[in-house]
Structure 1
Amino acid sequence: MRLSLVTFLTAAVQLAWGHYTFPDLIVNGTAAPDWQFVRITENHYSNGPVTDVKSQAIRCYELDSSSASQTQTATVVAGSTIGFKADNTMGHPGYFSAYLSPASPAANSPNAGLGKTWFKIWEWAPKWTASTGLIFDSENINQFTFTVPKSTPNGQYLVRGEQIALHAAGSANGAQFYVGCAQINVVGGGNGSPGPTTSFPGAYSGTEPGILINIYNLPAGYSGYTSPGPAVWRG
């Protein structure tokens, strides 16, 4: 069957409308301009997700090796609220998380965050009860925020915001990963020992019950959502 150009373009627009990027870092309620503090991502036009958890794109989905050096570094006080604003309504049901990685030699270096240095500082998982099933109260929002733990040591970091969209996660590589990394300099921090640490790629195998899951047909005996990745460090 042949599709008209109008039909094709309409379908393409609808597909892009359902996807999103996280171009704006939020610090204490104020969103910065697009890509000022967030490394520009490969999907900055297409808005398409990462689906292969073993690809290098799963880390920060950077456009290229110059993304880091072209991005500014925001000063953030430990204990304050930061987050990401999306360029579209995030209508997919899913799981949100945020990670930090010490940035060596600096936040604007392409070598920052390449090792087993990432630790989770926040998550927003779907709720579940036997009577209601899974409840995704994070649907249809355009931003998410979280707190930098007060005892985070001072220094430069990458902060990685992520949503794992689960509407098509019933088959391998069906989960959609929306990712953005901002560059920050933490001040006023403490002497905490963040952990456990992980790497990207490496944090996920793709077969975790929180990633490979049919949210519309849960298995018998299901008792609640299991978050992928390491435990949250509360600081």
Structure 2
Amino acid sequence: MKLSTLLTTAALFSRSAMAHYKFPSLIVDGTPTPEFKYVRFNTNNINPLLDLNSIDMRCNEGGLASGPQTETAVVQAGSTVGFTLSNSIGHIGPMLVYMAKAPGDPSNFDGDGEVWFKINEWGPDFSSGSIEWPQLGITSYSFQLPPSLPNGSYLLRIEHIGVHNAANANSAQFFLNCAQVQVTGGGNGNPGPLVAIPGLYSNEDPGIHFNNYYPPPTSYVIPGPPVWFE
């Protein structure tokens, strides 16, 4: 292989890798906390998940095993929290946030079963007449917890779905992490609908098997259940 070809291939690989990311820090009271103090450590670094049927879809690779080494942050229902990113987002696609209530200590909770509910989503903007992805380039993402969220321990799951190659079947990329939180000051809300992870997405969902290019899209359906926010 010619040197120029090798250099081009290396440059493309480097740009692709730099477009990848993870969510290492929870943001509480407007301040990022130490990396992986409250966020479960993942073992695949900044690489995406591709298999929708894997239990890694819950909290990323290594995210179930690292629960006992992760501390739990105290957060107020109705407050604004968030996550930092290790690199700025370089792929088009939506942002989604899920929670799952733990029956006890969240460090021992594996998120099995229909226990997850969506509290936030952020998709593309069509106000200009064409699709725009304001998620590109951000280095953190913050959102409000539902004010009526019941008190208790939860997994808080952040996810960005890269759909830049999703015109090809089974090619969407999933970047995600889970934090452990203890909610206080909550209410009597009834979060739902509850879904299982894996199981909430299909490779043929219109927001996952998605062609961003031609013909130009005029709509986008964010995957997963409706947002619960009360």
Q: Which residue of 2 aligns with 1:38?
A: 39
Which runs of structure 2 are paired with 1:152-191 in the superposition (5 Å)?
152-191=149-188
1:115, distance to aligned residue in structure 2 (A): 1.2
Further displaced range: 55-64 or 188-197: 55-64
Deviates more, 1:174-183 or 1:10-19: 10-19
One-letter amino acid of the counterpart of residue 29, structure 2: N
The 8 Å contact of residues 79 and 147 in structure 1, kept in 2 or not, is answered as: yes
Moved more, 96-105 or 185-194: 96-105
Which of 172, 196, 214 does residue 217 from structure 1 map onto? 214
- TM-fit CA distance, 1:228: 0.8
> What does residue 228 of structure 2 align with?
233
Question: Which secondary structure does the structure 2 equivalent of 1:183 belong to?
Answer: strand
Q: TM-score, normalization: structure 1?
A: 0.90
What is residue 18 of structure 2 aligned with on the other side?
Answer: 17
Contact 2:155–2:181 under 8 Å retained in 1: yes
Q: Does 2:197 correspond to 1:196?
A: no
> Partner of 1:60 in structure 2?
59
| Matching residue of 2:117 | 119
- Whose strand fraction is larger, Structure 1's or Structure 2's? 1
Measure, in 2, the Cα distance between the counterparts of 1:218 and 1:211. 17
Q: Paired residue for 2:89?
A: 90
Helix, strand or coil for the counterpart of 2:175? Answer: strand
Gapped runs of 5+ residues in structure 2? none
Q: Distance in 2 between matches of 1:80 and 1:225?
A: 29
Q: For 2:200, what is the secondary structure of its paired residue? A: coil
Cα distance 1:166–1:42, how it changes in 2: closer, same or farther (>3 A)?
Answer: same
- Take 2:111 and 2:54, find their aligned partners in 1: how far apart are those partners? 15
C-alpha distance in structure 1 between counterparts of 2:200 and 2:90, whole Å:
25
Separation of aligned partners in 2, 1:79 and 1:64:
26
RMSD value, Cα:
1.9
Counterpart CA distance in 1 for 2:63 and 2:73 is: 21
Whole-angstrom distance in 2 between the partners of 1:214 and 1:223? 11
